[in-house]
Amino acid sequence: LEEQIRRSDRLKTIGQIAAGTAHEIRNPLTAIKGFMQLLQKSLTDKSMAKETEFIGIVMMELERVNDLVSEFLLLSKPKKVKLQSIRIGSIIQELLPMIRGEAMLHDVIVQYEEEESLPPIVVDKEQLKQVFLNLSKNAIEAMGNEGTLTIRERRRADRHGHIAVDIQDTGTGISPDMLERVFDPFFTTKPQGTGLGLSICQRIVHDMGGSIEAESEPSGTTFTVWLPFSHGSGGAVSRDDV
Ligand code: ADP
Ligand code: MG
């Protein structure tokens, strides 16, 4: 529990800093990128190969900073929360083309097990899409170059008032000591990773009164997102613009 409090404090602090600075960083970034492009143009005219290459590297690194700032913005709470009553199936259906596209690049098969009988949930659709997109991306990245991503909707008798969505992969799995840390902000095992994806997922799902669980074996990992369909102490209903 202490660990959880420490983690959520850290997340809150990062979120606050993020909210205050992300936009301020993004504006100069856009300007830098624009002038770099101009510079690149004028250099290629004079065929300065090395300088052109350097600028290419700068642009690539700028892109990374830009991605990081985007994730920072997702980590901070959105000012406008747009709640609506919607079936989880229609959210997943909207996302499937994007997930399938990403999966195809890695020769990953996507299986979707829709559960038509689930009651609608009251959520911010765009935010929830971000959650399933992040989890699917992680799943695909864990499989390298073949495997199956299964998205499954279900209910469990002992979790009243909740629906569950499993994002299951046949990837490399996560060792038990790592599994404890995957939700920590900035924890990553990827050379180009930010370690913010799961923190963002957790922030969003907690705000909706839900939770995320992870189970892993060497043969693969399942992340389960639990979402309430009746809003009791969810927190989301107390927002300004409900
Ligand atoms: P990032 O993807 O930028 O590394 P995340 O917060 O999304 O950041 O994930 C943190 C870490 O958790 C990953 O670097 C990876 O080690 C681990 N992880 C997350 N999802 C999976 C998965 N489906 N299979 C294996 N490892 C995973
Ligand atoms: Mg990720």
Express each pLDDT in 82-136 by its tens digit. Answer: 999 999 999 999 999 999 999 999 999 999 999 999 999 999 999 999 999 999 9
Ligand 1 pocket by Cβ (under 6 Å):
134, 138-139, 142, 169, 171-172, 174, 182, 187-190, 193-199, 221
Task: Extract the tokens encoding 172.
Answer: 């490399």
Q: How far apart are CA 163 and CA 85, in angstroms?
A: 14
Task: Extract the tokens encoding 56.
Answer: 């290419």
Q: How far apart are CA 66 and CA 194, in angstroms?
A: 12
Ranges of beta strands (E only) in 76-154 are: 83-86, 108-113, 121-124, 147-154
Q: State yes or no: pLDDT of 52 exceeds 60.
A: yes
pLDDT of residue 162: 94
Which ligand places an atom closest to the C-alpha of 67? 1
The pLDDT tens digits of the residues spanning 187-209 come to: 999 998 999 999 999 999 999 99
Mutate to test the pocket of ligand 1, among 132, 179, 198, 204 (most ligand atoms within 8 A of CB): 198
Distance between the two ends of the chain, CA-based, in angstroms? Answer: 31
What is the atom index within ligand 1 of the atom nearest the CA of 172?
25
Band (237; pLDDT cuts 50, 70, 90): very low
Q: How far is residue 79 from each of residues 22, 49, 233, 239, 241, measured CA to CA in Å?
A: 14, 46, 20, 10, 10
Task: Extract the tokens encoding 112.
Answer: 């979707």
Q: How far apart are CA 97 and CA 6, in angstroms?
A: 37
Q: How far apart are CA 166 and CA 214, in angstroms?
A: 10
Residue with tokens 């209910």: 155
Q: How far apart are CA 72 and CA 105, in angstroms?
A: 26
Phi, psi of 185 (to 5 degrees): -60, 135
| C-beta of residue 108 within 8 angstroms of C-beta of residue 149 | yes
More confident residue, 52 or 92: 92
Residue type, 34: G
Output the CA 190–ligand 2 centroid distance in Å.
9
More confident residue, 215 or 9: 215
Q: What is the CA radius of gyration of the chain?
A: 20
Q: How far is residue 189 from each of residues 168, 174, 192, 195, measured CA to CA in Å?
A: 19, 10, 9, 8
The pLDDT tens digits of the residues spanning 207-222 come to: 999 999 999 999 999 9
Output the CA 5–ligand 2 centroid distance in Å.
22
Ranges of beta strands (E only) in 116-193 are: 121-124, 147-154, 162-168
What is the atom index within ligand 1 of the atom nearest the CA of 182?
12
Number of other residues whose CB lies within 10 A of the CB of residue 64 = 11
Q: State yes or no: pLDDT of 45 exceeds 60.
A: yes
Q: State yes or no: pLDDT of 238 exceeds 80.
A: no
Band (78; pLDDT cuts 50, 70, 90): confident
| C-beta of residue 18 within 8 angstroms of C-beta of residue 73 | yes
Residue nearest ligand 1's atom 21 by CA: 138
